[in-house]
Structure 1
Amino acid sequence: MIDFRYHIVSLISVFLALAVGIVLGAGPLRDYIADELTGQVELLREEKEALRAELDVAEVNLQRRSEFISASAPALLGGVLEDRSVAVVELPGANPEVTEAVMTRLEQSDATVTARVAVNERWADPTERAFRSGIAQSLVGYLNPAPAADASTETILGQALGQALTLRDPANLEARSAEAENLYELLISSELITEVGAPTAPAYATVVIAPELVEEPADEAAVTELAEANVVYTGLAVDLAGAGEASVLAGGDAFQGDLVRAVRADEAAASVVTTVDGVGTITGQVTVPLAVAATTGGAPASYGFAEGVTAVIPEPTTLTPPDPATFAPGPVDAPAGSDDTGDTEPTDDATDGEG
């Protein structure tokens, strides 16, 4: 047991220290302490003002750089995608203002934006799997070429969207094929996608705008949900890359949950999907048309300012005129694994309700 005298000594020490502090603070050290504190406060204020001034200068310089890039964009992009048509696909959570900014840069590159569609949340909603499976069965008969016999529901849906935006009519290469129109209508009626800008012609390429992530998910359940959605949308990006001449996924790469980062981390996906990060900035937006051209004339790559990218910006690419006949289907293939000869008519049962 602690001796009572120990407590007495401790209390005396505390009060003695307080007394000394009071005496010194009110006595000969008072002015010194006050001056010292005043000087430190003044120094901190000056440092804060200096940092604010530096920040203001940095913001002005950044704004001027953005204005310079914007003013230079028409000269930089002009003719890059001449004779090319592009369909724009927005994923759930994409920023519409970013999409419109990217479309402006596509138009400055002399590309024709032929369609703009938004993928709805039910595309990746785990509670809608049975419904999507039923829709996939209805889509298979219109796919040309038909999917592999073991193709998953997600693959069938992804190929359907890609073909809906790119397939051409063999009798009129400037028009969409009947299969493309049927696929598109089924995807619309099933509410898997929403039409933002109706298709005016088949596209040679697609640009996919990724969800905008402003912070990491706050809890484990949200992290898991985002990761599962990214798996589905990575598959969609791969399927779109298999339709037309090129496909570019544009988004952010600042957070672990960003789709662009997920695609880049997937070796198989990264080998077929071109990615552009920083699409929320004018630099990323201007890069998108250049990436479409580079992919059309070369190979998939990653562009932007994130660690490990292929390059900040693609090398200039001169494209030869496209051959529209390449994207005009022949006779409809029978669904893979079917004994049908191509006369199979898709059923509409799956559109009557959620499986």
Structure 2
Amino acid sequence: MIDFRYHIVSLISVFLALAVGIALGAGPLKETIGDTLTGQVEQLRAEKDALRAELDTTSGDLKDAETYIDAAGPQLLDGTLTDRRVAVVALGKVDEATRTAIDDRLAQSGASVTAHVTLEETWSDPDARTFRQALVGQLLTYLDPVPAADAGVEGELASALVQSLVTADPTNPDALSDDASVLLQLLSSSESDSPLVTVADPVTVPADAIVVVGVPITPPTADATPSPEPSASVVAAQLAVVSAAQQLSSGAVLADGPRGKGSLVDAVLADQDLAAAVATVSGTELVTGQVNVPLALAARIAGTVGHYGFGDGETPIPEAVTLPPVDRTPRVPDGASGGTEG
């Protein structure tokens, strides 16, 4: 058993050590310790200032590069999509600034936007599947071509949406066919409590090609929580739209946000068959991605499937192509495509 004298000796040792430390700190070591700490603080401050200056320089260079690309955009895009009609389909709520920027780049390329359509939650909500199945029964009557037997509800809806935007009246290539108008009305009916799509303005002119705009996952910030990653069923429904857009029009491109978690471009590149058929552009929140959209669409219409951006499996910019004039001679569709070009 430890006696009381042991505790007394221990306490005395502690206080002696403390006293020695105070004496040394206030005496012979005072200036040495102070100088060392002061030097370390000054070094850290200098390093911080250098990093700040380097960051400012890099940010300035990046801003200059974006300004240059933005200014060069009209020259890069001029004549790329002359007289082409393009429908823009958003797979959900997208950033308005990005959508407007894509519209502007399409206009600079010589294209006109015939429709702005946004998919609502009902399009892929598991609780609304019965409603979608019942609606498909009505839609099939107006589809030509009819989707494959194994297309499923998602594929049939996607086909209906695309045909509603690209199918022209056989006798008037500047007007939607009657069947297309009915399809779009059924999909966006205001009489339904949960329409599958919303249409910004009345659609009267058929599109040649389609830009499908993905919905980027919102990253976590101090003011907002990240948006949830879409489920496999939602991704499948979105990819069905992308696939139908390419199959039933003269060309389509998926315009998506950053690569990474929840990226639809990543989902396309992970599917070998889809990657071989569908063109993609990532980073459309940036001016580089926005300029790439019309270039990629023109390349896809010309027959080149590319994936554009700065991530794995992508190239920075599409090769320039010259498309032939659009042929809008009235003719009876042969069922091979709903668009006006082969």
TM-score range, shorter chain: 0.7 to 0.9
More relative contact order in 1 or in 2 (CA 8 Å, sep 6+)? Answer: 1
Amino acid at match of 2:203: P
Deviation of 1:14 after TM superposition, in Å, equals 5.3
- Partners of 1:327 and 1:60 in 2: CA distance: 55
2:171·2:331 contact (CA, 8 Å) conserved in 1? no
Partner of 2:67: 67
Bigger drift between 53-62 and 291-300 goes to: 53-62
Partner of 2:233: 228
Inter-CA distance 47–324: structure 2 relative to 1 (3 Å threshold): same
Alignment RMSD (CA, Å): 2.7
Residues 26-45 of structure 1 aligned to structure 2 (within 5 Å) = 26-45=26-45
Tell me if 1:319 matches 2:323: yes
- Partners of 1:145 and 1:115 in 2: CA distance: 22
**Deviations along 1:284-308, whole A, 9 cap, x unmatched?**
0000000000101023221001112
Match of 2:273 among 256, 260, 268: 268
Partner of 1:212: 216
The alignment's TM-score, normalised by the length of structure 2, stands at 0.88
Match of 1:286 among 277, 286, 291: 291
Partner of 1:166: 166
Inter-CA distance 141–250: structure 2 relative to 1 (3 Å threshold): same
Partner of 1:350: none
The alignment's TM-score, normalised by the length of structure 1, stands at 0.85
Number of equivalenced pairs? 328
Inter-CA distance 28–126: structure 2 relative to 1 (3 Å threshold): same
2:265·2:282 contact (CA, 8 Å) conserved in 1? yes
SS at match of 1:141: helix
Match of 2:308 among 286, 303, 311: 303
2:93·2:118 contact (CA, 8 Å) conserved in 1? no
2:210·2:252 contact (CA, 8 Å) conserved in 1? yes
Tell me if 1:329 matches 2:328: no
Tell me if 1:79 matches 2:79: yes
SS at match of 2:43: helix
Partner of 1:277: 282
1:88·1:209 contact (CA, 8 Å) conserved in 2? yes
Which runs of no fewer than 5 residues in structure 2 stay unpaired?
A: 336-342
Inter-CA distance 16–154: structure 2 relative to 1 (3 Å threshold): farther
2:173·2:330 contact (CA, 8 Å) conserved in 1? no
Which runs of no fewer than 5 residues in structure 1 stay unpaired?
A: 332-355
Deviation of 1:235 after TM superposition, in Å, equals 1.8
Partner of 1:175: 175
Partner of 1:346: none
